[in-house]
A and B are shown apart, each in its own frame.
Chain A
Amino acid sequence: EPEVTQTPSHQVTQMGQEVILRCVPISNHLYFYWYRQILGQKVEFLVSFYNNEISEKSEIFDDQFSVERPDGSNFTLKIRSTKLEDSAMYFCASGGSRTNEKLFFGSGTQLSVL
């Protein structure tokens, strides 16, 4: 089965630093998402991206966050100035159509902000 690939698997950073989390969605998919999961809590939607623009974003996705599809294969999440509370597992997901078929999730990037 095709996979969504995320790198790195673990990222440690100092508070205030910028981080970029990278994702390679499934090649023919058009819809891309970022979710996060703070340790022991539920998985939360951050942002959806389609046709090179944000479709929807949650309240969590403030001005410190941005997403980009810099080329035909990568999808990135940038956190401009990390805070302690940004420590979480970040999942990338992609989907092939609007018919609400299953989302394919990557294995996640564990971000630790010190």
Chain B
Amino acid sequence: AQKVTQAQTEISVVEKEDVTLDCVYETRDTTYYLFWYKQPPSGELVFLIRRNSFDEQNEISGRYSWNFQKSTSSFNFTITASQVVDSAVYFCALNAGGTSYGKLTFGQGTILTVHP
């Protein structure tokens, strides 16, 4: 069985602060994929990143960065210099390869509020 845990239910920061959203996953598969999605107040799910289990390199995209550590089964997401537009619910998700393609197991989500 697969599981994703986002222990932080809500985070509140002031604009320009850095913030890290935690994600811990469980799977027995050796091949798997990890995702982060953003859900702004308008409701849609916006893809942020996909990372496969064989690539532990950290990734940076503008103000966003991701830290994947297989040793601790974590895939954390950091927003540097947060902005009000970053306010949203952020979901971490897991997909195991093989026949489960496209079936994402989502975490509970972290509500991020960035205050001006």
| CB–CB A43/B101 < 8 A | no
- Knowing A89-B43, A100-B33, A100-B95, the reply to whether A45 touches B101 (Cβ < 8 A) is no
Name the CB-closest residue of A to B49: A102
Interface size band for A: 20 to 34
Q: Mark A75-99, 1 if CB is under 8 A from B, else 0.
A: 0000000000000010101010010
Q: Which of B35, B107, B109 touches A102 (beta carbons < 8 Å)?
A: B35
B77 contacts A by Cβ under 8 Å: no
In angstroms, how far is the closest chain A Cβ from the Cβ of B41?
Answer: 12
| CB–CB B47/A102 < 8 A | yes
In angstroms, how far is the closest chain A Cβ from the Cβ of B109?
Answer: 6
| CB–CB A42/B108 < 8 A | yes
B70 contacts A by Cβ under 8 Å: no
B71 contacts A by Cβ under 8 Å: no
A55 vs B91: C-alpha distance in the bound complex, in angstroms? 24
Q: Mark A30-64, 1 if CB is under 8 A from B, else 0.
A: 01010100000111110010000001100000000
- Knowing A44-B106, A45-B103, A48-B102, the reply to whether A91 touches B45 (Cβ < 8 A) is yes
B104 contacts A by Cβ under 8 Å: yes
| CB–CB B106/A100 < 8 A | no
Interface residues of A (CB under 8 A from B): 31, 33, 35, 41-45, 48, 55-56, 89, 91, 93, 95, 98, 100-108, 110
Interface residues of B (CB under 8 A from A): 33, 35, 37, 42-47, 50, 52, 91, 93, 95, 97, 99-109
